Amino acid sequence: MATKTFLYCSLLAISFFFASNSSANRENLTVELIHRDSPHSPLYNPHHTVSDRLNAAFLRSISRSRRFTTKTDLQSGLISNGGEYFMSISIGTPPSKVFAIADTGSDLTWVQCKPCQQCYKQNSPLFDKKKSSTYKTESCDSKTCQALSEHEEGCDESKDICKYRYSYGDNSFTKGDVATETISIDSSSGSSVSFPGTVFGCGYNNGGTFEETGSGIIGLGGGPLSLVSQLGSSIGKKFSYCLSHTAATTNGTSVINLGTNSIPSNPSKDSATLTTPLIQKDPETYYFLTLEAVTVGKTKLPYTGGGYGLNGKSSKRTGNIIIDSGTTLTLLDSGFYDDFGTAVEESVTGAKRVSDPQGLLTHCFKSGDKEIGLPAITMHFTNADVKLSPINAFVKLNEDTVCLSMIPTTEVAIYGNMVQMDFLVGYDLETKTVSFQRMDCSGNL
């Protein structure tokens, strides 16, 4: 029986399997997502209220957003016990099962490895590289090693082994060897598809606030060392996800699709699928889009936020927002947000403005004798006018209070996962585009 290894990271925890009506080929994989607050999640706490879970998710959004402005280390803003969805893969030969929260804002996948110089306590066994026949370290002068940033890269010259090192915003850290292994994805029929020679980090010096249920990070970002990038031609350089708004509270199912059929083949401006350019910027880990304007009701507001770099300085307005499935809230430039918030407040009917009891959300509304009327909000990306539903733009705190799920930021803008729910969001890394198609994600399997 495969050894179970729990992997814990920041953003998408996911269980890979083939859809029952698809053939067993690498180009069409479907990935089931388990929300961290779902009753199926190992992190589920039945004593937490809906309000408790929402506030925790909002705090993770704020903490996570700080990582995107870090100058020296792409990981240093990440909180080690963050993340919204779980995933399952296998590593090594024979395979060891890995159940993980995966991160679309990270590249290199890493796990705790035996023997450890320093490891935090975890409930499941450590990955034992000596028991795998396919484990192989990367040399210091390899292209893989050179793909790490200068702040992440190291070298054991005596053994010619490439090293990685990441630190996190909560003082957690991981260091280890860069290696290749066979990554396997289980199918619903019980068979699996293997991807030999996949790069990952074998961590032997790890510590901080990592929880015992986890042992690392799975990276699904846009850089060359991410799992998505490494699968590359095997999945036609295409993937998509469909996040259900019911996945955190019921048995609603969210998925990621990997392969040539994961997004519409001919998306066009005139169809139900809206397509916008994916902007190439540094760092390539992150997925940048260009937000041109936002419409609230009948009021269209040009988006004045610049594209912020890791040094916090405003740059060209192209690529001025990061689309990120690991951040719950949407963060918009503070200079734009004042007018935007005013437009929302003036458009809400049947309610009075109140303060968020937790002090996290800026625009909350409490109903009176009438039902709350919420304005339509449209996000105008380049060539893609994405109309949000009330469940995308607002969050219900209790029976009579709703809040806008968007907050201001003086740093980089982020298009979070609440505004993406019940859309098929497709990434074509070959044509460098992102597409949006409205659908019921709870019935996507």
- pTM, two decimal places: 0.82
Mean pLDDT computed over every residue of the chain? 79
Quote the domain boundaries for residue 280: 264-443
Say yes or no: 177 and 313 in one domain: no
The listed range with the strongest mean pLDDT (59-63, 183-187, 264-268) is 183-187
Say yes or no: 253 and 309 in one domain: no
Q: How many domains does the chain have?
A: 2
Contact, 304 vs 336, CB < 8 A?
yes
433 confidence band (pLDDT: 50, 70, 90): very high
Q: How far is it, in rounded angstroms, from Cα 241 to Cα 421?
A: 10
Q: What is the 3-state secondary structure (H, E, C) of 414-443?
A: EECCCCCCCEEEEEECCCCEEEEEECCHHH
Residue 377, amino acid: I
Contact, 233 vs 196, CB < 8 A?
no
Q: Which residue has the higher pLDDT, 312 or 218?
A: 218
Average pLDDT over residues 309-327: 71
Least reliable range by pLDDT among 79-88, 287-296, 333-342: 79-88
Say yes or no: 22 and 66 in one domain: yes
| Among candidate residues 61, 74, 88, the one with its CA nearest the CA of residue 417 | 61
Contact, 202 vs 113, CB < 8 A?
yes
Q: How far is it, in rounded angstroms, from Cα 420 to Cα 356?
A: 23
Residue 35, amino acid: H
What does the angle CA 177 – CA 119 – CA 72 come to, to the nearest 5 degrees? 55
| Residues sharing a CB contact under 8 Å with residue 346, sequence separation 6 or more, in sequence order | none
Q: What is the 3-state secondary structure (H, E, C) of 147-208?
A: HCCCCCEEEECCCCEEEEEEECCCCCEEEEEEEEEEEEEECCCCCEEEEEEEEEEEEEEEEC
The listed range with the strongest mean pLDDT (1-10, 93-102, 331-340) is 331-340
Residue 412, amino acid: V
Q: Which residue has the higher pLDDT, 152 or 270?
A: 152
Say yes or no: 206 and 271 in one domain: no
How distant, in Å, are the alpha carbons of 137, 147, 154, 182, 406 from that of 140?
Answer: 10, 11, 8, 21, 44
Average pLDDT over residues 161-165: 96
- pLDDT score at 272: 81
Say yes or no: 33 and 102 in one domain: yes
Say yes or no: 128 and 246 in one domain: yes
Q: Is 324 a catalytic residue?
A: yes
Final residue in a domain of this structure, among 241, 257, 273: 257
How distant, in Å, are the alpha carbons of 139, 152, 154, 179 from that of 149?
Answer: 16, 5, 10, 16
Say yes or no: 383 and 295 in one domain: yes
Among residues 37, 103, 107, 422, the one annotated as catalytic is 103
The listed range with the strongest mean pLDDT (67-71, 167-171, 417-421) is 417-421
How distant, in Å, are the alpha carbons of 19, 224, 339, 421 from that of 444?
Answer: 10, 29, 37, 12
Final residue in a domain of this structure, among 257, 284, 299: 257
Say yes or no: 10 and 29 in one domain: yes
Q: Does position 3 have pLDDT exceeding 50, yes or no?
A: no
Say yes or no: 225 and 279 in one domain: no
Q: How far is it, in rounded angstroms, from Cα 210 to Cα 81?
A: 6
pLDDT digits (tens, 9 = 90+) for 346-390: 999 999 999 887 777 889 999 877 789 999 999 999 999 999 999
pLDDT digits (tens, 9 = 90+) for 256-282: 788 877 876 555 554 589 999 999 998
Average pLDDT over residues 224-251: 81
Q: How far is it, in rounded angstroms, from Cα 71 to Cα 83?
A: 22
SS3 324: coil
Say yes or no: 69 and 206 in one domain: yes
Average pLDDT over residues 131-159: 95
Q: What percent of the chain has pLDDT over 90?
A: 42
CATH number for the domain spanning 411: value is: 2.40.70.10
Q: Which residue has the higher pLDDT, 91 or 32?
A: 91
Say yes or no: 111 and 171 in one domain: yes
Contact, 341 vs 348, CB < 8 A?
no
Q: Is 339 a catalytic residue?
A: no
pLDDT digits (tens, 9 = 90+) for 83-124: 567 777 889 999 998 777 767 788 898 899 999 999 988 877
Among residues 37, 177, 324, 333, the one annotated as catalytic is 324
145 confidence band (pLDDT: 50, 70, 90): very high
SS3 255: strand
Pairing of strands 423-428, 413-415: unpaired
| Among candidate residues 163, 155, 166, 200, the one with its CA nearest the CA of residue 182 | 200
Contact, 100 vs 13, CB < 8 A?
yes
Say yes or no: 301 and 210 in one domain: no
